[in-house]
Amino acid sequence: MVTTNQDTQFVKLYPEEKVAQIRGDHCFFQCARCCTDDTWDAVEPVRQMVEAQGAGTRVPTELIPRFRTRATWR
């Protein structure tokens, strides 16, 4: 199953190994510079960002991921 959806709905219906999400998945971060194919879990960091912004629309700068090396991000 090939999909351009990024909302993980297809993996709820089909086995994950059978779904190719060619535009990625909102559950992961990836380097914007395209210097690696590595991905990092986004669920917990995004939850923290939403909680920290409260009723406003600004995410605190310290919570925005910054690419450091191929193995880590902040």
What is the domain partition of the chain in residue ranges? 2-63
Kindly report, residue by residue over 22-49, the tens digit of the pLDDT.
666 778 888 878 788 888 888 899 999 9
Report the Cα–Cα distance between both ends of the chain, in Å, rounded. 33
pLDDT, the chain, mean: 78
* 25 closest CA partner among 35, 33, 12: 12
Whole-model pTM over 0.85: no
**CA-closest candidate to residue 28, choices 16, 38, 42:** 42
Helices and strands of the chain, counted as H and E runs:
2, 4
